[in-house]
Structure 1
């Protein structure tokens, strides 16, 4: 793969907006965050440029296996099922928390979530959907793609269509600050310390190319301080 990218001068990267690791820059019509930074560095080291390929959570692994892109360059949960079909170069750890509407006053803790009949919307293709249903059997789960141009379901919660939706645990402080009408569940402190379904996250490549994996691992290792800074910046 390294030789192919050098020869073609392009590395195709499947991408999904996943703050704080990948964010959309509407002004520059591109992407910002630590993953775009180290993917641009990876391409530059091979004398190539990045071609970003927007993908969806529910089809991203199939696209990688079909060679629609060389790297799945977003914050991908490295589940055991996914590791059977792809190799992961991990760069951080994350987990899941929730938001509800403050004025509804229905739920504020995980204990209340386990004992109350509620509804939640989760992005289609989320790796933790089955685990969520086992942990919170009282909650009715709906899965669907994010709305066009959005990477959350906050408006569905605001309108009462669903009682809850999910957020990345590391984003709890930012979500609370930007959305005063929403309540983080459990508390921000608990989200940061012990989110649900914690797991390693990374970028993914197809199996069978150890040289490419090693190259990407080196690039990510060099970018470790920027990744850590991005997480801390969104955890204030």
Structure 2
């Protein structure tokens, strides 16, 4: 047998192997859950570890039981059930979510927005829901003689904005409001309390979170949504950058199923109500 025949046969074998791999992903539109190493490792350990930083209504922590709720926590449990393992929530903060993925302290990070900067460090699932940054403020604050209509109205040294350190909102206001005074706090609760206690004039946060604040305090707190939307980004699961394409497809398929069935919308509504009830 000559060399060209050997090369030809090897090429055929490689092509056949590639086709088999593709077929494992796409046969009847179903992705095999055991096609990659990430979920195989999760299955062997029996635990899906989810890094969680509190951000209602996406990620909620019950102050009495310390258990996690919210749409992303519910999805984590559902995906763990799909893999036939137990969901385990690992406490984190926003600045540490990415580092935890890189060091493999957890398998997924909850409610992490996909940005070009973050894509250099980690990978992301398909979008679960859409988000943008809005601004909640006390309508009786004398600093706002009229309601803000643009970011320029907030870009003043005498205006203090509370924000979760390391969040998308933190970067957005840092880039767009250089003259404002920024109070960076470790979590959503601390940032919200800064507004309610009037230590801060404005709360910069995700649109859903600020909807909760205004709903809980309708007599005093209102929200301003810039146009065009500021930091309009999807909310996703973050995963380690080494995740195989096939494994990411398994997660994305699960998300698509939950969105199509209406489960994500129901989870969000339940999370909003749960957060409001807890605030009473």
CA distance in 2, matches of 1:7, 1:231: 31
The TM-score with structure 1 as length reference comes to: 0.84
Give me the CA root mean square deviation.
Answer: 2.5
**Based on CA coordinates, which of the two structures has the bigger radius of gyration?**
2
CA distance in 2: counterparts of 1:128 and 1:167, whole angstroms: 6
Pick aligned residue for 2:79 from 42, 47, 50: 42
Q: Following TM superposition, by how much is the alpha carbon of 1:202 offset from its aligned partner in structure 2, in angstroms?
A: 0.2
Alpha-carbon contact 2:55-2:209 (below 8 Å) kept: no
Count residues with an aligned counterpart: 227
| Post-superposition CA distance 1:104-162 (Å, at most 9, x none) | 2323214322467311121111234343234223311121212xxx6342332233322
Kindly indicate whether residue 201 of structure 2 is the aligned counterpart of residue 131 of structure 1. Answer: no
Asked if 2 retains the 8 angstrom alpha-carbon contact of 1:34 and 1:226, the reply is no
Question: What TM-score does the superposition give when structure 2 sets the normalisation length?
Answer: 0.72
State yes or no: 1:164 paired with 2:202.
yes
Moved more, 196-205 or 13-22: 13-22
Unaligned 5+ residue runs, structure 1? none
Q: Which blocks of at least 5 consecutive residues in structure 2 are unaligned? A: 1-37, 274-280
Specify which structure has the higher proportion of helix: 2
Partner residue of 1:109 out of 148, 154, 161:
148
Question: CA offsets per residue over residues 82-110 of structure 1, 9 Å max, x none?
Answer: 11111111211101111222322323214
1:230–1:11: structure 2 CA closer, same or farther, 3 Å change rule?
Answer: closer
Distance 1:172 1:145 in 2: 17
More strand by share: 1
Contact 1:21 1:227 in 2 (8 A): no
Residues 1:175 and 1:30: Cα distance change in structure 2 (over 3 Å): same
Q: What CA deviation, in whole Å up to 9, does each residue of 1:49-87 have, x standing for no partner? A: 011101000111011101101111x21111111111111
